[in-house]
Structure 1
Amino acid sequence: MHVSGLSLRDLEYVVAVAEEGHFGRAAERCAVSQPTLSVQVRKLEEALGLVLFERSNRRVLLTPSGQAVVRQARAVLAEAQRLLLLAREGSGGGLRGRLVLAAIQTLGPYLFPQVLRGLRQAFPHLALSLSEGRTADILDALREGRADAALISLPIPEAGLTVAALFDEPFLLACPSEHPFAAGPAPRAGDLAGPDLLLLDEGNCLRDQAVAACGAGPASGRHATSLETLRSMVAAGAGYTLLPALAAPPGPDPTGLTVCRRFGPEGPRRTIALAWRASDPRGDGLAELAGFFRRHAPHATLPRGQPEETRMRRDSGTISV
């Protein structure tokens, strides 16, 4: 017998007869005529090749086979109810269920700790799975369905994606405390091109943005694989680098080896965005997620289009890190 020959309604009839112990009461409970119910139960027995009930004028009893079938029928009907509940929840608005959220490596470790608590409160039915990677790998995962949404830095190839800009993140200059850039007027990004400029390895979007901001050649400077390594190199006096504002430690460096300096209002920055597949049926919910990130952007970032000086919480000049 093919599974397509079974119907949930027939299983409901069998369970009703088993629980009522009477075909007439079972038919009344299922809102059908008794002959209709009796015929459908008999057809199911024939299809299964089993006798489910002992029938007499006074009572209806389950056979051993009938007991096993009713037990399984109850389980099937319970799963069907869960499926209906899931469908109702999915159409009720808001993000629910599992969502894989990827972020570029120079953002995720610094942004996630600041927003995850609020994210869980705003989307209580969302089961988040977080990942980090380089932009190209994240976009591949997004388009192939291995990720559902991505926090990335613009610009990106947007074909097949919905991209919502969230906030601007300024860059800060991190340099050794004894370096000439550590004091004096606010630095200018165009003055940073040179052999002491420390960069991330090729393939990292932050490297490309730093090279563009400083007007440096693509092969200039020394390289590292992570922001943490760059910061260690700066502390060791190996050179200076650009740090995204969220990656700059909020407190002073106890050793006093490194300082971070802000650029002027027109200083370099990057735009952070949330991207997802344009074909994803949860588009409205993902747009709500983008709205959450806009509303809860950390104070080190800037609303889109707002001058940097209106959001700075510390005096301009030097900040020990």
Structure 2
Amino acid sequence: MTLNELRYIVTLAQEQHFGRAAERCFVSQPTLSIAVKKLEEELGTPLFERSKSRVQTTPLGDKIVAQAQLVLEQTARIKEIASEGKGQLISPLNVGAIFTIGPYLFPHFIPQLQRMAPEMPLYVEEGYTATLRQRLRKGDLDAIIISLPFTEPDVVTLNLYDEPFVVLMDHNHPLAEKQRIHPEDLNDHDVLLLGEGHCFRDQILEACPNLQPRLENRAHTRTAAEGSSLDTLRHMVASGLGITILPHSAALASHYASDILVTRSFVDPVPTRTVALAWRASFPRHKAIDALKKAIVQCDFSDAEEV
């Protein structure tokens, strides 16, 4: 039994698909499949039920996967303890961010962090909140940048900043004549949203509950294809498919001229989201977390290109 085999079964249990699990583990599908089968033979019991459409844990496999998860977390803790004796601002720092934050925050805070800790390599990745949560627990990531609410046992969460939402539209759109937008103003206009799984979609529907019935009735509200990003929504708006709602940082990061797309703020109370930093309470490199926090807080989005 090896740590890699434990990592394989934990990932397979999460993905319920050999191909996706192999991709996340950076191995080929046959390699992962053989390793899982080898572990099942060693333990003398099947861990997974396999079918053409999905893979799921057996009742006993579920217990073994849960224990494997604990082993991987403790292994990550051993590495963290070993790093305590090293320079806290020298070892690599692995940071994840959700899809609606990372592309717009990374270009701002990475140069700041490089100035604060020039000898600390920084590895970044993007993902859904659920994926980043799992990778933080396993020790694959040292810290994650997410949008509240977010709770996780033995994980510290620190609020970084509040970010307002804005409406993005064609410069000739009827709503462009307004200085500020009321949520009810969106009625009878085509509104483009991210697909399910994005927490930003849920936040929009919470801030603009009038969109929910229209979404259920498929009236004037359209969900982008799975895997789409905020940039995809922006391009869809530019192509004349409707309007959308973006976080302020994403609205500023545009390559479209002001005679193509414009933004409008909401009336008070302006819908906002709280961006937060989360890390394991056991993570020993407090100076690295402090440097990361300061680099993010000092970001200034005002120098971004406005739309």
Normalised TM-score (structure 1): 0.61
Deviations 1:82-108 (A, max 9, x none): xxxx86543xxx433011100111111
Structure 1 residues 193 and 138: CA distance shift in structure 2, 3 A:
farther
Question: Could you tell me how far apart the structure 1 residues matched to 2:143 and 2:161 are?
Answer: 16
1:190 to partner: Cα distance? 4.2
**Aligned residue number for residue 157 of structure 1:** 151
SS in 2 for 1:124: coil
- Alpha-carbon contact 1:172-1:262 (below 8 Å) kept: yes
Residue in 1 aligned with 2:99?
Answer: 105
Quote the offset at 1:255 in angstroms.
7.5
In the aligned structure 2, how far is the partner of 1:139 from the partner of 1:203? 14
- SS of the equivalent of 1:163 reads strand
Separation (CA, whole Å) in 2 of partners of 1:251 and 1:100: 27
SS in 2 for 1:97: coil
Kept in 2: contact 1:190–1:213 (CA 8 A): no
- Contact 1:103–1:133, Cα closer than 8 Å, also in 2: yes
Where 1:114 maps in the other structure, the secondary structure is helix
* Aligned twin of 1:298: 300
Give the alignment of 1:19-168 within 5 angstroms: 89-90=86-87, 94-168=88-162
SS at match of 1:170: strand
Q: Contact 2:109 / 2:295 at 8 angstroms: preserved in 1? A: no
Distance 1:119 1:243, change over 3 A: same
Higher RCO (Cα < 8 Å, 6 or more apart): 2
Distance 1:299 1:127, change over 3 A: same
Instruction: Read off the aligned partner of 2:234 and give its amino acid letter.
Output: R
**Structure 1 range deviating more: 200-209 or 247-256:** 247-256
Whole-Å separation in 2 of the counterparts to 1:121 and 1:320: 26
Rounded Cα–Cα distance in structure 2 between residues aligned with 1:167 and 1:193:
30
**Normalization by structure 2: what TM-score?**
0.64
User: Is 1:269 the equivalent of 2:266?
Assistant: no
Post-superposition CA distance 1:240-292 (Å, at most 9, x none): 11111111236783472321112245311111111011121224531342233
CA distance in 2, matches of 1:252, 1:284: 36
Q: Assess, with a 3 A threshold, how the Cα gap between structure 1 residues 279 and 251 changes in structure 2: closer, same or farther.
A: closer
SS in 2 for 1:261: strand
Give the count of matched residue pairs. Answer: 217
Amino acid at match of 2:275: I
**CA shift for structure 1 position 110:** 1.2
Alpha carbons of structure 1 residues 104 and 251: separation in structure 2 relative to 1, 3 Å: closer
RMSD over aligned CA atoms reads: 2.7
Residue 252 of structure 2 corresponds to 249
Q: Quote the Cα distance in structure 2 between the aligned partners of 1:194 and 1:104.
A: 31
Question: Could you tell me whether the CA contact under 8 Å between 2:108 and 2:301 is conserved in 1?
Answer: no
Change (3 A) 1:102 1:87: closer
Mapping for residues 156-195 of structure 1, pairs under 5 Å: 156-192=150-186
Which one-letter code corresponds to 1:266 in the other structure? Answer: P
Identity across aligned pairs (percent)? 40
Q: Distance in 1 between matches of 2:251 and 2:119?
A: 33
**Pair 172,129 (structure 1): closer, same or farther in 2 beyond 3 Å:** same
Q: Distance in 2 between matches of 1:201 and 1:280?
A: 33
- Structure-2 change in CA distance of 1:109 and 1:185 (3 Å): closer
Q: For each residue in 1:19-50, what CA deviation from the matched residue of structure 2 results, as whole angstroms up to 9, or x when unmatched?
A: xxxxxxxxxxxxxxxxxxxxxxxxxxxxxxxx
- Residues 188 and 267 of structure 1 are in contact (CA less than 8 Å); yes or no, is this contact kept in structure 2? no
Secondary structure in 1 matching 2:92: strand
Rounded to whole Å, the distance in 2 between the matches of 1:278 and 1:193 is 45
Retained in 2: the 8 A contact 1:252–1:320?
Answer: no
Q: Provide the rounded CA distance (Å) in 1 between the counterparts of 2:199 and 2:184.
A: 19
- Unpaired stretches in structure 2, ≥5 consecutive residues: 1-82
Counterpart-to-counterpart distance in 1, 2:280 and 2:96: 13
For the structure 1 residues 277 and 258, does the alpha-carbon distance in structure 2 shift closer, same or farther, using more than 3 Å as the test?
A: same
Q: Tell me which of 202, 207, 210 is aligned to 1:213.
A: 207
The amino acid across from 1:230 in the alignment is L
How far does the alpha carbon of each residue in 1:219-257 deviate from its partner, in whole angstroms, 9 at most, with x for none?
462122111110111112211111111112367834723
Evaluate the alpha carbon distance shift between residue 202 and residue 193 of structure 1 in structure 2; reply closer, same or farther with a 3 A threshold. Answer: farther
